[in-house]
Amino acid sequence: MKNNKRSGCTFFTCVLWALLSLIAPSLHAGEVIISNPDFDSLALGLRSDVLEDPSGILQFAALQNNQHPWRPLGAKDLPPQFTSSAFWLRVSLLNQTGQSLNTILDSGSVLVDYLDFYVVRSNGSTEVVLTGDRRPFHSRQGKTRTVSQPLEIGPGERVTIFMRQTTHDGLHETLTPTLRSPEAHDAQLQKDGMVFGFLFGTLGALMLYNLFLAVFTRQPGFLRYVLLTSGILAWGFVFRGYAFQYLWPNSPDLNNQILAVIALLSHAAFSLFAIGYLNVRQLTPRWLYLANWIPVALNSLLIILPLLGYYALSFASWFVAGTLTQIIVVATNLLLIRQGSRPARFFIVAYAALGAGTTIYYLHLLGLMAPNFLTEYGIQIGASLQVLLLGIGLADQMNTLKAEKLKAEQTARSAQLALNSKLTEEVRLRTMELEDLNHKLSELSITDELTGCFNRRHFNQVLEEELAHHQRQDCPLAFCMFDLDNFKTYNDTHGHQAGDRALQQVSHHLHEVLKRKKDLLFRLGGEEFGVLLNMDQPIDKAVPFVEQLRQAIADLGIPHKANPDGVITASFGLIMLKPGSAISTPTEIYAKADALLYQAKSEGRNRVAYAIT
């Protein structure tokens, strides 16, 4: 009797397993049971199975026999690696909440080349989505910078998810499959946007500020800093997927090529900045100076690899070249610290900030550090701190050079005072020559080199002084801005040299029209000028005078075929402040005049738009 019962159970068990193997082969996968409808996120990696396909040709249909050597992943991440294999991940989800769930399956990767989703439902249907970084952005149903997939699970439904990861040429990115509620997914996107917006904004502000300094001071150190900052900013924008999402969503190959190019050029910019900032040429042996140029040349040369489509080889080369870059730069920096170099101390602290951020990131990838805010954003935070600290170091270097220059001047002055009476006359003559030179330098510092007008820096100072006088003495104040109409077209047609001559003609002619000593003409930038007028009551008499200026420019008759009037004309924005005006800052005056200038342009150009306040 017992034997018959055991035989029956065995037969029933065999039949049951046979049926299950036909209708649900995914039951062999790790299973995640969802019992709380209000869950935020679930890490699927620890419950997933992984299958490596060395041939790279295994198709989804072939997985249905369930005869392949699946093994538990045993970690939250499928780690990065270089291989031509394809990888399959498999996990089952069982909805025991009693209600339908709308979820987002996030791969956790921005750069995965090809990621195919196969969603097998209890009724036997299969949903297929082919997406990844090597396909156009619209292939992502999630429409986010990370490759994600919306997933609806009915009450009591079990779905099995297969994910197939393949690569363009062998470089597999990290996958961190995570199931999130829509609310948690939106919160993650908002946090990413806030953090990266702050970091990118900080880098962008530093880049633009130092670009301004580079243009107006013509110091190569600021330009090198701009190259370094722009490289880090561009790399972060592309590496984090924002460039692909917003700039070139239909150009996946361009997105991958430009990421590798920027990575290589960023290393080159880092070495270039170090050479100049640390004054390697003057402070180290010649062989070490030449060695510092090797990473610059090597990283620049290697950009040919991504341009030819060798993505994996590009990053392998980038790693080797980057390691060489770090070794040479750090060795040089340590040598200079031993020599007492102050910039080298700033540099090593800044480098340590980036190193710490990078180390934290890779400790997380290797599973040696639990995920947190720093592991998620460590590289960008470290890079931003590095750029900020190097900016402070650059400013300190400028101050040091200024102090050294001042000290040298004081030493020279002491030497002059120590000369004997026989050289007194010669000292007096040389002092006069120095004073004359300083006077000329002072004039040059406030004068625009091309046009002879006062420059923007002097304008800021004078406008602030005139506004203070206006507020203190209750006297009127008038300021107008103008620029030459369609001047970009003029430059494109006649060339920039002709454009420069036109700017000179206009400025010289207006200097003749502005005969009063306190009527000041400034070049604010490009073809944009400003005029501060010496005003009496009534204040509106400035309007006909500005009309004279406008007509004087047109009367020059400089041919400009692309301009409706056939000659170069200008549009003016005139703001007039009565005593007691509510406008109280130079910024407000400038903004109001600028708005009136654009009003004049929008009304047809070659006219004056004005306001009295």
Q: Answer whether residue 312 is part of any domain.
A: yes
Distance CA(275)–CA(493), nearest Å, equals 41
Calculate the average pLDDT of the chain. 85
pLDDT tens for each residue of 87-134? 999 999 999 998 999 999 999 889 899 999 999 998 889 999 999 999
Q: Integer distance in angstroms from the first to the last C-alpha of the chain?
A: 109
Which pLDDT belongs to residue 508? 94
pLDDT at 419: 67
CATH at 381: 1.20.1070
Q: How many domains is the chain partitioned into structurally?
A: 3
Task: Check whether 562 has a pLDDT greater than 70.
Answer: yes
Residue 311 and residue 263 in one domain: yes
Q: According to the model, what pLDDT value does residue 431 have?
A: 67
Does residue 207 lie in a domain region? yes
* Under 8 Å between Cβ of 166 and 51: no
- Comparing 156 with 396, the larger pLDDT belongs to 156
Question: 266 with 334, same domain?
Answer: yes
H, E, C per residue of 489-550: HHHHHHCHHHHHHHHHHHHHHHHHHCCCCCCEEEEEECCEEEEEECCCCCHHHHHHHHHHHH
Report yes or no on 516 lying in a domain: yes
- 326 and 386 co-located in one domain: yes
Is residue 211 situated within a structural domain?
A: yes
Domain boundary among 146, 180, 214: 180
Task: Identify the domain boundary among 128, 146, 180.
Answer: 180
Mean pLDDT (whole number) for 369-375: 72
User: Which among 150, 180, 210 is the end of a domain?
Assistant: 180
Contact 118, 88 (CB under 8 A): no
Give residue 367's pLDDT. 63
Higher-pLDDT residue of 207 and 64 is: 207
Buried b (16+ CB within 10 A) or exposed e, 86-107: bbbbbbbbbbebeeebebbbbb
> Above 60 in pLDDT, residue 533?
yes
pLDDT at 421: 67
Judged against a pLDDT cut of 70, whether residue 511 lies above it is answered with yes
Name which of 80-89, 177-186, 218-227, 288-297 the model is least confident about. Answer: 218-227
Q: Are residues 577 and 511 part of one domain?
A: yes
Distances (CA, A) of 448 to 135, 453, 456, 499, 521: 51, 5, 8, 15, 11
Residues 396 and 496 reside in one and the same domain: no
Is the pLDDT reported for residue 24 higher than 50?
no
What whole-number percentage of the chain has pLDDT above 90? 47
Same domain (yes/no): 176, 206: no
CATH of the domain at 49: 2.60.40.2380
Same domain, 210 and 276: yes
Q: What is the pairing mode between strands 171-172 and 30-34?
A: unpaired
Least confident of 47-51, 223-227, 588-592: 223-227
- For the segment 255-280, the average pLDDT, to the nearest whole number, is 90
Residue 69 confidence (pLDDT) above 70: yes
Rounded Cα–Cα distance for residues 589 and 593 (Å): 6
Contacts of 514 (CB under 8 A, 6+ apart): 520, 521, 531, 549
* 162 and 225 belong to one structural domain: no
Residue 444 counted as domain residue: no
Residue 410 in domain: no
- What's residue 131's pLDDT? 95
Q: Does one domain contain both 140 and 78?
A: yes
Give this prediction's pTM. Answer: 0.58
Q: Residue 478's pLDDT is what? A: 94
Considering only the C-alpha atoms of the chain, give the largest distance between any 2 of them, rounded to a whole number of Å: 136
Is 20 part of a structural domain of the chain?
A: no
Q: 208 with 264, same domain? A: yes
Q: Domain with 470 in it: what CATH number?
A: 3.30.70.270
Rounded (10°) angle between helices 342-365 and 373-417:
180
Q: Summarize the confidence of residues 66-86 as an average pLDDT.
A: 88
| pLDDT tens string 483-493 | 999 999 999 99
Whether 383 and 479 map to the same domain: the answer is no
**Residue 371 placed within a domain:** yes
Which domain range does residue 69 map to?
A: 27-180
When pLDDT is averaged across residues 565-583 and rounded to a whole number, the result is 92
172 and 212 share a domain? Answer: no
Average pLDDT of 517-542?
88
pLDDT at residue 171, as a whole number: 86
